[in-house]
Structure formats: structure tokens, C-alpha cells
Chain A
Amino acid sequence: MARVAGGDDGGGGADGDRPFPPGEYPILVVGSGPGGLQTSYCLRRLGVEHAVISRDDRPGGMFRWYPVFQRLLSWTQLDAPFERGSREFEWYDHNSLLGDEREHQALICDVLDRSHVVPTRQQMEDGLAAFAERTPLRVRYGCSWESTRRENGRLVLTTSDGEYRCRAAVFALGVTEPWRSPIPGIDQVPHYADCRHGEDYAGKSVFIIGKRNSAFELADGLLPWASRIVLASPRPVETSNFAQASVRARYLQPYEVSVLGGGTYAVDAAIERIERDADGFRISASGTTRPGRIEMRADAAIAATGFTTPLRDQPQLGVAAVAQGRIPALTPFWRSVSAEDIYFAGNATQGAAGLRKHGVGSSSPAVHGFRYNARVLAEHLARDLFGIERERRRFEPAQLVPFLLHELAHAPELWAQKGYLARAVRFEPAQGIVDAGVVPLAHFVDAGGPEAIAVAVEMDTRGQIYPAAYRWRGGRLRGVELAGELLHRFQDAEHARVLTELLDDVVR
């Protein structure tokens, strides 16, 4: 079924300029946010024919609207120790999608100015649009997926334009549909997604339900306007280890005000009830970390209780979801644990938790994490469904340890997805030492061999970064945690010695 696309990607022409009319495609990608765009790009580079549909009218996904206060939390450094467009530079640029050619790389840098290391929402949207336009990616916009079924071994997606049949679908739907926790009265409370302007809250006392990023982003944006801000949720704000903090540093200003100043409160409380009346809201809550009762009024209330994946009828098809049904439960290669032909890309890839060694989660909810998942997924689909294998680099024994150390020191995949993605090398009797590419670490450690090594960058409970290696040898797996280094210089004699020892049968 595989066809080499040779730059163009099937479909097109049937109704005006809109590509991919309803019909049969090997793979269907749904969504034109960064997750869908990156997946389509990577599939195309591998020559996997596919169609892309989106209900939007242009590329960018949720960045066409959010964040509400118009600035992201992920950074891009315009200058770095590596040249723009190099693979190593990607680690300094968390917002560009991945391209193989220079004109498709580091595109956010072209729209960013030096006023802030974090792009505005508009700059992010422009950067994504530039990627879609220059590569160029073809998407059938204005096409909404409505329902799903299986027929004769094919997945059938009914859309506003008609039916699409495919062997497998990749859903890059985002985790951006408003979700409210089940608190009595919360349906009367506007969601984060309903907020627009700070001036709407001028001089008001505002009650925000939630104490994670979106709640603190709102509080940060409302600080110049509101007279009082109370943020409340049962779980305490955790900031002792930045790597695992429940709020990103960029939005911590209101937290500092709550600790050192006045007028802003971050309260650990379970909200029992919220009632709307003519004057605003009446809230009843009960303290969690410290006992106590809250009975208070606020002029305005906002539910910053998070987002959900718009799975539509997938649960009826057997797609299981976690986190109160908000996130699809996924295998290490981002397939639904309970549906063979349904894959996910983008933000929803957080549904594959990985090893979570030392409790460290993945970066899959953000662009700099899931852009790599997309590339690994595309290679996996190309290989497993269509038998398309990328040309693999072979190593001389003497090249192996320096290669692995370079990866540990600089590979953006390993640094972005700590303890989650790994660089693997196989040792094959016929082929010798072969680069096996970037793989999910959870897959590598459970695959049961063959003879291979994988290296990953990991982090311990105190946020200390160290390199790790996993070696399959004679059907047994050995994991080694190497020492960290103050400036993360892993390409030194000591690290080389440990890897050489682990590979003594291969490199000597």
C-alpha cells in the first residue's frame, strides 16, 4: 500500500483547491495544530501517503486563540552555542517544528524579537503558519470529524465533508477543550476559555478555581486589574523542584504576591459548592493542607480546571481514557491501549506516561516534547504498517562510544524528553553496529532485546540531571546511571570509560 509521495501528497483537486476529498487513504491525520502539522511533515518525509483534515480554517491549532493573555510559556533563544537550524540548536528553541531542510528549521526565530525569550501567541501562530506554508503541508481545512466506526478491517471516519476510510488514523486533537471538575454549581462559572480581556475584571474580586498553569496565567494577567484574586484547589502549589513543579516559573508572580504581599491568595481547599446570584458568586470550601472553612463572595469566578481531549465517540470504539476520561491511555508508541488502529499525536501523547523514573514525567504536553514523538511515531507507522525502513547509519566499533556520548551531551530529543526518549544502537550478527534511531525508552526496556544499547538523559528526585545507559546482552537488561557533571559535559574520559565497560564485547 505504500507509495512514495515524492514531495506531493495525494488527494487534491476534486473540490476547488481543497485537498484530500473523502475517500480511502492509508493513514488519516486529524488536526492542524502543531501536533498534526509535525506528524504530516514526518510521514511525508518517509513517503507515507496520508490525508490531513481539520475543522479549522488555517494552521496553528489552539495557538490561534490561547494563551488568553497572549504570551506562551515555552522559550526560544535566538542565540545559542549552536547555529540556528542545526540539530543541537533545537534544544534552545522549544517552539519551532522540526524540518529536515534549513528553510524549514527554526522558523519561530524569524518572527521573534528580542523583547522576550517567550513568543507571543501571534508570533507562535505566524511561525506555525510559515512552517505549513513553506514545507508546504496540505490540509483539508473546514472538515470536521463527527463519528467513527470499523468496517471490513478499515476505520471509517464520518466528517462534515463525507466518509474517510483508512488503515489507521492519527488523532492530533489537542487537549484544549474546556473541562470542568465536578463541583456543584460549576456549570454557572465561566471557563478559562471564556476569558478575553483583563479590563473585564477591573476593580473586581475574582475567584479562580484551580492552581495550575492556566489558573496562574489568568492570575498573572489579572494582577494589574483585579482588586483581589483568590486561587483555590485541593492540592498545594509545589515549587521545591522546578522540574516537577505544578506551575511553570513564568506564571509564579501571583504566587509570590500571595506569599509576600496581599490581595492575592493561593488556598489549598476543596470547593464544595459555588452559587451564582445577581451580585456575583458565593463559594463554600473546606481546607485540605490546613483545616478550616471558607465561605466567601466574589464579583467574578473563573474555572481554570483544565482541558480535555475531544475524543467524541471513540470510547464506544473501545478507546480507554485516564485522568477522569480526559486523556487517551496510550502504549509507548502512542497507540490507544485498547484500539489497534487509533494513534495520537500532539499534546495527547501525554497519555503514554513512559517509565516515570524518579517520578519525572514527559514533555509530551508541549511542542518541544511532542514534536519528537511525532517523528518517532511516523517512523514506527512507516515501518510497521508499510514496511518502509529508513536508511540506518552503521558504526565502526571505535565510533560507538563517542557517538553515544555526543547524543547524551547534545541530542535535543533526549534533553527534551528526559527518561522518555532514548537513542538506541543495535548489534546485529549480519549488519554489525546499526543506529536504531530515537525510541521510546519504555519500549526499549520491555522489548526483550535484541543485543542493543540505549542512552537517555534522566533526572533524579532533586532535579539533578545525569546520563543513563541500558544494555540488552544475552537476553538480560542492565541499566546504569552514570554520574552527572556540573556543566553537563558528558563527553569526557570518565563517561567514556563507563560506556566502554558496558560495551566491552562490542567495542574492544
Chain B
Amino acid sequence: MIDPDSLARLALFADLSRAELEAAGQLFDEQMYETGERILRQGLTGNAFYVLLDGCVAIKIDGTERARLFPGDFFGEVSILTGEPPTADVVAMNAIRCAVLGEPDVEGFLIRNPRVMLRMLQAEARRVRSANLWHG
């Protein structure tokens, strides 16, 4: 359970009505992690969708930092959509707070909330685009 107002502030949920936000608030859990704690583990577990509410996380592949995520960013969705374990560690760089949706609830939530799915897709498209630019 999470305060719907925490979700209302994020671009990902910007199109939801108050009632939809309240339903999402009951579906998502809230979790906090200390500096250095791992949230996703490369090659191991995943199986949840995380939206960062406070703090900063680093994406690390084989121990090398590749990117940082900030409030409003999300992670864990690739592993759920592909059914594969995560390809990176996600590590808390300071005390962080996330909204978390377990794997079994993700599909139903996205289907019930297509505007969230669209916003996710837009964010993924931006990530692919910047990755392509990066690689030339």
C-alpha cells in the first residue's frame, strides 16, 4: 500500500483519475533501502516493477556503473516483460524509496491503465534513442 499522492506527483501516473490513483495506491507497495543495498540483482531475481520516489540508484553491469536513475524513473520492467532475470544490478546510492508492483500484478495493471503503458513506452523509446546515440 502506498499514499496515492506519492504516485500522483510522477509523470508516469499523470493521466490517472483520483479513483484510479487510489486503486494503484492499494496495489503498489512501498519499499525503502539503505545506501549500498541491492534492489535488483544481475542474473538472479527481479520480478517486480519499481518506480523510484526518492533518492538515486545506480545501474551496474558486472560491477561497472552504466547509468543512474532519479525520482520518477522506473526499472525492473524489462525482466518482467521478457521473463528473463535482470541483466544488471540496481543499487541504492543513498537512502531510497520506491513504489513496487509484484510481477503477477504488472500485466493486469498495465492493461487496466493503458495511459500508464503508453507513458512507459514513451520512456522506453527515449532510452533506446539515447542508447543508439551513445553507441554512435
Which A residues have a C-beta under 8 Å from some C-beta of B?
A: 233-235, 241, 244, 268-270, 272, 286-289, 306, 320, 322-324, 326, 329, 331, 337-338, 353, 355-361, 445-446, 461, 477, 479
Contacts and interface: CB of A to CB of B under 8 A. Distances in A.
B3 interface: yes
A234 B22 contact: yes
A461 B1 contact: no
Contacts of B18: 270, 272, 286
A361 B103 CA distance: 11
A359 B48 CA distance: 6
Nearest to B32: A329
Q: Can you list the 4 inter-chain pairs with the closest CB atoms, starting with the nearest?
A: A359-B102, A329-B32, A234-B23, A270-B19
Nearest to A234: B23
Given A268-B23, A359-B48, A445 B41 contact: yes
B29 to A, nearest CB: 7
B73 interface: no
Interface in B73-120: 95, 97, 100, 102-105, 112
12 contacts: A234-B23, A235-B23, A270-B19, A320-B95, A322-B29, A324-B30, A329-B32, A355-B45, A356-B47, A356-B102, A360-B102, A446-B41
Contacts of A324: 1-3, 30
B23 A337 contact: no
A36 to B, nearest CB: 24
A329 B31 contact: yes
A105 to B, nearest CB: 34
Chain B contact residues: helix, strand, loop or mixed: mixed
A472 to B, nearest CB: 12
Nearest to A461: B104
Contacts of B45: 355, 357, 445, 479
Interface string B13-49: 0000111101101110111111001100101110110
Contacts of B100: 353, 356
Interface residues of B, number: 34
Given A244-B102, A356-B102, 16 more contacts: A234-B22, A234-B26, A235-B26, A235-B27, A269-B19, A270-B18, A270-B19, A270-B22, A289-B112, A306-B1, A322-B2, A323-B1, A338-B32, A446-B38, A446-B41, A479-B43
B21 to A, nearest CB: 8
Chain A contact residues: helix, strand, loop or mixed: loop
Nearest to A335: B34
A359 B32 contact: no
Given A323-B2, A359-B47, A244 B34 contact: no
Contacts of A270: 18-19, 22-23
Contact of B44 (A241, A286, A359, A477): A477
A329 B27 CA distance: 18
Contacts of B95: 320, 337-338
A338 B104 CA distance: 30
A446 B19 contact: no
B22 A337 contact: no
Contact of A337 (B29, B34, B38, B104): B34
Nearest to A337: B34
A338 B34 contact: yes
A359 B49 CA distance: 10
A289 B38 CA distance: 34
A479 B47 CA distance: 14
A288 B19 contact: yes
B103 A461 contact: yes
A234 B23 CA distance: 4
Taking each of A320, A326, A445, A446, which has the highest tally of chain B beta carbons within 10 Å of its own beta carbon?
A446
A322 B1 CA distance: 8
Contact of B22 (A241, A288, A329, A360): A288
Contact of A288 (B23, B31, B44): B23
Contacts of B37: 331, 446
